[in-house]
Structure 1
Amino acid sequence: MAVETVAPPVSMEPSPPLALRARNDTRDIDFSALDALPKGSMELDPVSIADLLRNAFVYPPHSVYRHAKLVLPGDPSGSKRQDEDPVLHATLASWAASFRQTPSLPGSQALVEHYHQLLCAAVERTTASMQRPWFLQSGGKDSTSMAIATSEVRPDVTCITYLGGREENELASAKWVAHQLGLCHETLVCNPGRAYDRYLACVPQMPLLTADFAMLSYVDLVTEIRANDGDGVIDALGSDVYFGMPARWRHLVIRVLAQRFPLPTVLFKLWGIRHSFHLCYALSILQMSAFERFYPGSRFSDQEVDALVGEPIAAQSRQRLNVFLPAIHAAGSIAERRRLAAAIVEAASFGKGLYTANALQLPLAYPYCDARLAEWLMHDVPDDQLVAPDGTSKVLVRKHIARSFENLPYVKKKGCFRFDVCGLARLRFDCVRQFALDAKTQGFLPGAAAWLDAHRMHLGNKYFASKFYLLAVVLPWLLSRTQPPVLHVTHGLQRERRV
């Protein structure tokens, strides 16, 4: 996903948006084209800010700037779209089952070996410029498969696993896998105060904004890698859109419950509800669309977003989904809809890595986005090797892992990039509240301070703490883009306030 500038033609007509073209090679990222954009709050897109609060990411192809759009990799089906209309519609359609090819292929073992060869080549190509690469080894299926390939072509890599909370169970597996493969392994335990301070330190250098729920974890990890003389990062993100997202019983329930039915906010403060994450989460489903509920995390409702922004804007954010509706309606199952949701989320999720690596000046490799590997996975692998008829996910990846390891506990629960959102709220509430007050004076999110004050006593519930997390990520970035910048930083960083 190298980024290049698409220069607008010289014309008396209004200039088209600045297009940042993302390609498959991520070793040479250049966001300098954004430097040409006028500075100041008027250049920021309020609908994109609503996207961040509603879904934790900006709907592609938009960015947090009004006049900067992100052009995603070319349509794998071979059709071409104009740069002036850089949307995911054709790409999403090409990932649907009707576009897939299922030719007769050699036996299962030969398929696994070919996958291994392509993955090894992808790791080798995308890390060629790195002398001391570090691998973000979450301990899940994708990272275990990539660790196997990495040990063959980059045995000098150091693996690092993030322990974000007590809900996780993949650390032991990740460490055991790394050691069995002869790879160095390190663990970084989540300290939410340290992670947030590291985020604030690099906010001024972050070219764009995302509020991904792994954003602070990512900054914490990459800062740690840089402090230990690492000169590159390997990330196993990017495979879900190829291998599919099987539907579980809870997704059927969500489809029934998600009715976009507005509920009074006071309902969430009732004693029997405000202390229960599961009750709050269930009630929040009623307020959401079934498709947007596929996106991870607890986020602000449309009513809350309008109150935070100070104007009715959530509906405009929701309308950004319309460009994907043809692909969504064409999906024949909940599993296919989840796959499309994964495509949209992953298109945005790359931001946490791209923006962090840019800010900390480290090259970043996404081997699963390697063009040769991606083309083969999308067009040549039979469907039953992606998701089995019984719903088993990532069949080919599981077989690849089984050639080296048996009975790993990686499938029990996802998690090594979870973040202690409740701990963040406990340690940095006053700091974020000051950001909210500063933002209000600058015309950003005038309702943020009031929301924080109203929910301060409820932030031990991760449903509310997740919303606090979104404000904690969004507010300082917005303040850093005011003219002149206003960034009021406390708790461990040098205090700076430029007005």
Structure 2
Amino acid sequence: MNVSMLDPRALAPSLQRPPPLQITMSPYYGTPDFSEVANTAPHRPIDYVSVADILRNAFVYPPNSIFKDVKLVTFGFSPAQDMQVAPQFHFKFRDSGKRGDTDASHPDHDIDWVGTYHKLLVDAVAASTRESKNPWLLQSGGKDSTTLAIAVADARPDTVCMTYLGGREENEVESATMVAKTLGLRHESLQCDPARAYDRYLAVADRMPLLTADFALLSYVDLATEISGRGGDGVIDGLGADSYFGTPMSRQQRLLKRLARGVRLPPALAELPLIDRSFELCFMLGTLQMNSIERVFPGSRFTDAEVDELFGQPISRESQARLAPFLEEIASASSPDEWRDMSTSIAGSAGAFAKGLYTCSALGMHASYPFCDVRFREWVYREVPPHQMIDPVTRTNKVLVRNHIATRFPDLPYVKRKGSFRFDVRGLAVKRFDTVHEFAVQARDVLPGAAGWLERNRRRLDNKYHASKFYLLAVVLPWIQLHRAREQQVP
């Protein structure tokens, strides 16, 4: 398929088309510079295979971006490579690079692991927030944000902690408040209002340099806008540690990998009576239609058949083909855990990190990722013994992080149960359906099936499976329309 046929503008001669652009975009590599793409965005053509990427997986497969002529160097690719020509992916935190428990050159009894960890993390916080006068810590109440809060209390005691209460599944505010109070840090919270969050997204979407639809994007926009309004100029984010600490593959994740068969089923199957009301049945049907790597990516998304239906022509296979640069490296994994870490890193680079980087860029804020600090991460990866990373018996992860937290909080609930910045996707569907539907009508030339999907599934959006797909359309459709509006305004 010639994807340019989806874009009527591609048939007209291009005026002042800017040259192709390559951006090094990963906090592991430093602070990305989006200024050039932000200045030239109205002249750049949207890549509609990238739109399909987002509908299928909630992010654009790196090294691609939402623009045809902008490529991204995410972690695992080399900034020295030309991303336009056969880029090679190499996972940087292979198990083979970690030290072994039997390595005689690392006598554990001579090292204060928790003390060294704390010192290096304090240094990482100080370095990453150097340009921020009023930083705010995104505090979910989980392990990463709690261990960060302990270091922040020493490095930047002027930091304010902010906790987001995003849905009915959990309430981590009490735990997070206790942590901040004990550490002497100011604590604030924000209740998720999906309508407010979406309106805030629409207010900044045309300033976002690129596009992702990570399932915490709207939460992030809501939080960052609130922080900016309260005088904050920077966000401290706890992403980055999973890749080098490692994440054991759970029994459920192993089952999902086996269930992901890549079969193609009719799009209407999840809309059948009884099935359409069950999140579990719909999720299972969606899993059957994914390949095992893409099932690792978070959330419920559109199937290949649904994406083709939304576009009105085949395009999903072109999106799935973008897995190719990663396949050889992932196939070389030495364990299921390493296989999952490699697979997860794809979504982490282009989705999890991107949501914060794009949001902070749009709002003119600093984005700090202390866990990506070179000195800190290399010490953990190269020096910390495996049993301090993952317990070999219990399979508990981040043992050293838990030990660090235990020096201040011996029994913290959300160290045991993971917290997150959840977003009320069902509430969004209730409160902003008509707005999203209007964007779908306006974008019929790009996604001719979107308005019909929304109309057909409106009564099913109280099921989080269908509401998650609504969320993806809610993010993608206005961005396309706002970009096209900017393009028309530029002479």
Superposition map of 1:448-487 within 5 A:
448-483=450-485
SS, match of residue 271 in structure 1: coil
Q: Deviations over 1:334-390 (max 9, x none)?
A: 211221122112111211111111111111111111111122222222222222213
Task: Tell me which residue corresponds to 2:399.
Answer: 395
Question: Whole-Å Cα distance in 2 between the matches of residues 114 and 88 of structure 1?
Answer: 37
| Range 18-27 or range 449-458, more displaced | 18-27
Q: Deviations over 1:27-80 (max 9, x none)?
A: 86531211564736x7111111111000000111111001101113577xxx88
| Range 141-150 or range 161-170, more displaced | 161-170
Question: Whole-Å Cα distance in 2 between the matches of residues 86 and 105 of structure 1?
Answer: 45
2:219 to 217, 220, 225: 217
Task: Tell me which residue corresponds to 1:300.
Answer: 302
Task: Tell me which residue corresponds to 2:5.
Answer: none
SS, match of residue 159 in structure 1: strand
Shift of 1:107: 3.4
Question: Whole-Å Cα distance in 1 between the matches of residues 95 and 39 of structure 2?
Answer: 42
Contact 1:422 1:465 in 2 (8 A): yes
SS, match of residue 312 in structure 1: coil
Task: Tell me which residue corresponds to 1:372.
Answer: 375
Task: Tell me which residue corresponds to 1:431.
Answer: 435
Question: Whole-Å Cα distance in 2 between the matches of residues 205 and 138 of structure 1?
Answer: 27
Matched, 1:258 2:260: yes
SS, match of residue 198 in structure 1: helix
Task: Tell me which residue corresponds to 2:418.
Answer: 414
| Range 388-397 or range 299-308, more displaced | 388-397
Matched, 1:101 2:103: no
Q: Deviations over 1:140-185 (max 9, x none)?
A: 1110010000001111110000000111142221111111111110
1:31 to 25, 31, 34: 34
Question: Whole-Å Cα distance in 1 between the matches of residues 74 and 268 of structure 2?
Answer: 41
Shift of 1:303: 0.5
Amino acid at match of 1:392: T
Task: Tell me which residue corresponds to 1:383.
Answer: 386
Question: Whole-Å Cα distance in 2 between the matches of residues 344 and 142 of structure 1?
Answer: 20
Contact 1:231 1:363 in 2 (8 A): yes
2:293 to 282, 291, 294: 291
Contact 2:262 2:290 in 1 (8 A): yes
Question: Whole-Å Cα distance in 2 between the matches of residues 62 and 350 of structure 1?
Answer: 15
Question: What is the TM-score with the length of structure 2 in the denominator?
Answer: 0.90
Contact 2:23 2:32 in 1 (8 A): no
Amino acid at match of 1:357: C
Label 1:80 to 1:159 Cα distance change in 2 as closer, same or farther (>3 A).
Answer: closer
SS, match of residue 186 in structure 1: strand
SS, match of residue 239 in structure 2: coil
Matched, 1:234 2:233: no
Question: What is the TM-score with the length of structure 1 in the denominator?
Answer: 0.89
2:359 to 356, 360, 369: 356
Task: Tell me which residue corresponds to 2:21.
Answer: 18
Amino acid at match of 2:309: A
Shift of 1:224: 0.3
Question: Whole-Å Cα distance in 2 between the matches of residues 29 and 39 of structure 1?
Answer: 20
Superposition map of 1:318-337 within 5 A:
318-337=320-339
Contact 1:19 1:69 in 2 (8 A): yes
Label 1:158 to 1:126 Cα distance change in 2 as closer, same or farther (>3 A).
Answer: same
Task: Tell me which residue corresponds to 2:12.
Answer: none
SS, match of residue 108 in structure 2: coil
Shift of 1:310: 2.1
Question: Cα RMSD over matched residues?
Answer: 2.4
Amino acid at match of 2:442: D
Q: Deviations over 1:222-273 (max 9, x none)?
A: 0000110112111111111011111111122112211111222332122221
Identity value in percent: 50
Q: Deviations over 1:307-354 (max 9, x none)?
A: 112221111111111111112111133211221122112111211111
Aligned length: 468
Contact 2:270 2:282 in 1 (8 A): yes
SS, match of residue 107 in structure 1: helix
